[in-house]
Amino acid sequence: MSGKDGKEAKEATETTEADIAVHWAEEQYFYPSTKFIAQANMTDENIYDRMSLDKCPEYWKEYADLLTWYKYWDTILDTSDAPCYNFFKGGLINASYNCVDRHLAKYKNKTAIHFVPELETDKVEHITYQELYVRVNEFAAVLKYECGLMAGDRVTLHMPMVAELPITMLACARLGIIHSQAFCGFSGKACADRIVDSGSYYLITMDAYFRGGSLIDHKEKADIAVEEAAQEGRKIEKVLVWQRYPGKYSSKTPMVDGRDVFVNDLLKKYYGVRIEPVPMPAEAPLFLMYTSGTAGKPKGCQHNTAGYLAYTAGTSKYVQDIHPEDVYWCMAHIGWITGHSYIVYGPLAIAASTVIYEGIPTYPDAGRCWKIAQDLDVNIFHTTPTAIRALRKVGPDEPKKYNYHFKHMTTVGEPIEPEVWKWYYHEVGKDEAIIVDTWWQTETGGFLCSTLPALQPMKPGSAGPGMPGIHPIVYDEHGNVVPSGSGKAGNICIQNPWPGMFHTIWGDRDRFVRQYFEKYCKNPKSKDWRDWPYLTGDAAVVASDGYVRILGRIDDVINVSGHRLGTKDIESAALTVLEVAEAAVVPVKHEVKGIEPDLYVALRPGIQPSEDLARKIMKAIVTEIGPIAKPGKVWIVPDMPKTRSGKIMRRVLGAISNGTSVGDVMTLANPEIVDMITKMVQGETKVEF
Ligand code: WTA
């Protein structure tokens, strides 16, 4: 939407996360302990001076130098196709080599991955760097010799949280194959959309995985994905199926002859085979990560090899404070960007021991996380506010029952309420661990705002200042700078390029420019990065100390339990049900999930509302997207509140669902409906089906 009228129309019709955000009071600082500071990786206060805006982009050399290059780069930042930037142009590098091979000399006997199965009766696997090297090579041999895959090919992964997932990613990276992992909770249909958009001929999956104590049949989703992709014109040649228990098939879904193959059978031919990593140009795409964005289908954020790896390695070292002797556990799913950057690539690039936990944090009981932390002697812990809220709700006194000690904890993905932050600090961190609240996005590859843990105090509810070398700025709707300390919110942007940022949207450069740069671009023809501030899509307030507090999205994206979803995607899923005429999704505050979607639907003429129909709509959403997108409530309403020009007033529906004031609705085409819906939602009118 562009132009003044467009903006006004948006303001009149939408409700966003930022609109329903709570402004909590400014909190006191918490300081890192001398013990933490004494061992921290980054204690040099000059880093902010070295990385000041006027020295951009030269300072990114510090990050590039954390990596091992086949050929060192010659241009630090190529802006010739701005705003599609290339970092470290001229360099040759391999991500798999950097995450595995280069650590062998010093760390081959050290654990690279601790895999913790959900069932406590299954054995924890400790994979050393040497074993990771062997397994990555063998699977790379399968990709090369059995599948004939080569650098630049795309492969879709739909895998659960198992060690085979990073092995698969690193085997792809070894050959320059671009992987595109779909979150395993996504439906077969959602996986198909990613197959089609990326142009993959291969799907790599696993037969089953554990969740909440049940062995979930996952292979059935592969069949749906292949079928749906075929309908959209993309034929999958082969489905490679890892077995959750090697040598045993744990799915009820039959293997399709000629199409489906067990990885474990193929691997037998390649035991002991080594595959040389392919030296890739710095700017070669490493992976695609699909994410929801303003209207339309999910978009594939293209992350390129060297910049992404340098940025995730640097931030893992300086913000996560990972040393090779630490045990680091990030509880995100590898199917989301947090897992890619801060379970796999960043930590492994700096020789960490990284924990992969298969299941849910509360299985079989509220103490599970703390038991894992105790058993593996985890000392760095990384999770979301949703998980923290849930753990606090079900087991507020559990952490103290276990003998673990964190030095460092992260919160990521959503704003964290100061009260929840303090429980995390006092109870989970036992007043010993520092906390970093890291704000960033799929698009940004790594952190944008956070405190550097040994250099700055923490402030509950605030992410902290821009990372070294990242220069945030807040603009109002008209492009005026909203000053720090003004108490006013605005659209937070980043003024300069950084190596972790995505290069483009796969196959859609125009959308990339339109969505992220058009709004505040100073000159669309410019090749100077100073003319292209990056629009994050979040609203923020910056305090006078420069600490950034994120309020939430300003667009139609919502973060449900820290999972990023498009309201338009949920609406389109609801509209696949023939009886539904109109659908509107609004974000609603939720005690544990942070935000939850409520769905309002109006039916086609002559169709009667019923509970069955509401269930059918829920089911359609699960089929199209996955259970994570399930609305909290489906409200079947006689009509939507609309403007005179026929636009659905989501803002009004959002206010009703959140129990806040609907404001002046007299200019609506049908103001009487607002009262009817309010009574329905507030339970004053029995919903008659
Ligand atoms: C939100 C996840 C507040 C924000 C890494 C952003 C946060 C979106 C924080 C990106 C945080 C992420 N505090 N909000 N610390 N971190 N967000 O792409 O709205 O899944 O735009 O990346 O999550 O979600 P995504």
The pLDDT assigned to 294 comes to: 64
Four-CA torsion 43, 47, 49, 50, nearest 10 degrees: 140
CB 602 within 8 Å of CB 640: yes
The pLDDT assigned to 65 comes to: 98
- Distance, CA of 508 to CA of 518 (rounded, Å): 14
Positions in the chain short of pLDDT 50: 1-9, 11-12
Residue type, 635: W
- Distance, CA of 312 to CA of 509 (rounded, Å): 24
Supply 42's token pair: 């980054």
Buried/exposed code over 647-673 (b: 16+ C-beta within 10 A; e: otherwise): bbbbbbbbbbbbeeebeebeebebeeb
CB 65 within 8 Å of CB 58: no
The pLDDT assigned to 111 comes to: 98
Nearest to 200 by CA among 236, 241, 176, 149: 236
Read off the pTM: 0.95
Phi and psi torsions of 322, nearest 5°: -80, 130
CB 92 within 8 Å of CB 69: yes
> Which residue has its alpha carbon closest to ligand 1 atom 24?
441
> Which residue has its alpha carbon closest to ligand 1 atom 22?
441
Per DSSP, 486 falls in state S
∠ Cα 280 501 337 (to 5°): 90
Ligand 1 centre distance from Cα of residue 669 (Å): 36
The pLDDT assigned to 676 comes to: 95
What are the CA-CA distances from residue 279 to residues 134, 152, 175, 197, 250 (Å)?
19, 13, 9, 26, 38
Please work out whether the CB of residue 338 comes within 6 Å of at least one atom of ligand 1.
yes
Nearest to 448 by CA among 512, 518, 498: 498
Buried/exposed code over 452-470 (b: 16+ C-beta within 10 A; e: otherwise): bbbbbebbbbbbbbbbbbb
> Which residue has its alpha carbon closest to ligand 1 atom 5?
441
Please work out whether the CB of residue 547 comes within 6 Å of at least one atom of ligand 1.
no
> Which residue has its alpha carbon closest to ligand 1 atom 20?
564
CB 471 within 8 Å of CB 450: no
Ligand 1 centre distance from Cα of residue 597 (Å): 17
User: Best mutation site among 451, 538, 547 for ligand 1, i.e. most ligand atoms within 8 A of its Cβ?
Assistant: 538
CB 194 within 8 Å of CB 236: no
Please work out whether the CB of residue 561 comes within 6 Å of at least one atom of ligand 1.
no
With residue 680 as reference, give the H or E element that holds it: helix 672-681
With residue 86 as reference, give the H or E element that holds it: strand 86-89
Task: Report how far apart the first and last C-alpha atoms of the chain are (Å, whole number).
Answer: 38
Nearest to 100 by CA among 61, 140, 62, 71: 140
Four-CA torsion 586, 590, 592, 593, nearest 10 degrees: 10
Ligand 1 centre distance from Cα of residue 110 (Å): 33
Ligand 1 centre distance from Cα of residue 415 (Å): 8
Strands 472-475 and 280-281: unpaired
> Which residue has its alpha carbon closest to ligand 1 atom 14?
414
Q: Atom of ligand 1 at shortest distance to CA of 338?
A: 5
User: Best mutation site among 564, 567, 593, 628 for ligand 1, i.e. most ligand atoms within 8 A of its Cβ?
Assistant: 564
User: Best mutation site among 558, 559, 567, 569 for ligand 1, i.e. most ligand atoms within 8 A of its Cβ?
Assistant: 559
- Distance, CA of 154 to CA of 172 (rounded, Å): 9
Q: DSSP for 290-327, please give it.
A: EE--SSSS-EEEEEEHHHHHHHHHHHHHHTS---TTSE
- Distance, CA of 78 to CA of 527 (rounded, Å): 9
Please work out whether the CB of residue 555 comes within 6 Å of at least one atom of ligand 1.
no
> Which residue has its alpha carbon closest to ligand 1 atom 25?
441
The pLDDT assigned to 233 comes to: 96
Supply 351's token pair: 């020789």
Ligand 1 centre distance from Cα of residue 521 (Å): 23
CB 372 within 8 Å of CB 357: yes
- Distance, CA of 29 to CA of 679 (rounded, Å): 44
CB 225 within 8 Å of CB 181: no
Ligand 1 centre distance from Cα of residue 138 (Å): 36
CB 275 within 8 Å of CB 297: no
Ligand 1 centre distance from Cα of residue 310 (Å): 21
Ligand 1 centre distance from Cα of residue 577 (Å): 31
Q: Atom of ligand 1 at shortest distance to CA of 17?
A: 19
Ligand 1 centre distance from Cα of residue 499 (Å): 19
- Distance, CA of 391 to CA of 11 (rounded, Å): 37
Ligand 1 centre distance from Cα of residue 336 (Å): 11
Q: Where are the beta strands (DSSP E) in 243-284?
A: 260-262, 280-281
CB count, 10 Å around CB of 606? 6
What are the CA-CA distances from residue 159 to residues 147, 165, 225, 356, 361 (Å)?
18, 6, 13, 13, 19
Please work out whether the CB of residue 413 comes within 6 Å of at least one atom of ligand 1.
yes
Buried/exposed code over 476-505 (b: 16+ C-beta within 10 A; e: otherwise): eeeeeebebeeeebbbbbbbbbbbbbbbbb
- Distance, CA of 329 to CA of 332 (rounded, Å): 9
The pLDDT assigned to 296 comes to: 65
Ligand 1 centre distance from Cα of residue 442 (Å): 8
Give 215: exposed, middle or buried? Use CB within 10 Å, 0-12, 13-18, 19+: middle
The pLDDT assigned to 68 comes to: 99
The pLDDT assigned to 9 comes to: 46
- Distance, CA of 553 to CA of 473 (rounded, Å): 16
What is residue 335's three-state secondary structure? Answer: coil
What is residue 179's three-state secondary structure? Answer: strand
- Distance, CA of 517 to CA of 528 (rounded, Å): 13
The pLDDT assigned to 224 comes to: 98
Please work out whether the CB of residue 538 comes within 6 Å of at least one atom of ligand 1.
yes
- Distance, CA of 290 to CA of 194 (rounded, Å): 7
CB 424 within 8 Å of CB 382: no
The pLDDT assigned to 6 comes to: 43
- Distance, CA of 146 to CA of 237 (rounded, Å): 12
Please work out whether the CB of residue 553 comes within 6 Å of at least one atom of ligand 1.
yes
Supply 566's token pair: 């498009």
Per DSSP, 638 falls in state S
Q: DSSP for 526-586, please give it.
A: ---GGG-PEEEEEEEEE-TTS-EEEEEESSSEEEETTEEEEHHHHHHHHHTSTTEEEEEEE
Q: Atom of ligand 1 at shortest distance to CA of 415?
A: 3
Please work out whether the CB of residue 550 comes within 6 Å of at least one atom of ligand 1.
yes
